[in-house]
């Protein structure tokens, strides 16, 4: 049976949508809320980002959402 693609795009721990990032040249997929990250194709998260990296990522996300809110 095939996995539900909508479930695959959500964090198993909190249900938040997963995002793709470039982490110093490595593509990672993970949850910004839980700070759990893995490589594409892997099922289980294996790392947490350092606090500074996570804060920078959150700031970028906040700026993007503010810009989207101002679009006509």
Residue 38 contacts residue 30 (beta carbons within 8 Å): yes
Model pTM above 0.75: no
Write out the chain's pLDDT in tens, 72 residues.
334 444 458 998 999 999 999 888 989 999 999 999 999 988 788 899 999 988 888 887 655 545 555 555
Beta bridge partners, 28, equal: 21
Q: What is the pLDDT of residue 67?
A: 54
Q: How far apart are CA 64 and CA 32, in angstroms?
A: 14
Alpha-carbon dihedral angle through residues 25, 30, 69, 51, given to the nearest 10 degrees: -70
């Amino acid at each position: 049976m095939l996995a539900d693609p909508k479930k695959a795009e959500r964090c198993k721990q909190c249900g938040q949508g997963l995002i793709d990032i470039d982490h110093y040249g490595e593509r990672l997929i993970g949850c910004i809320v839980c700070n759990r990250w893995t490589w594409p194709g892997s099922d289980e998260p294996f790392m947490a980002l350092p606090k500074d990296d996570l804060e920078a990522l959150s700031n970028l996300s906040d700026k993007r959402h503010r810009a989207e809110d101002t679009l006509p």
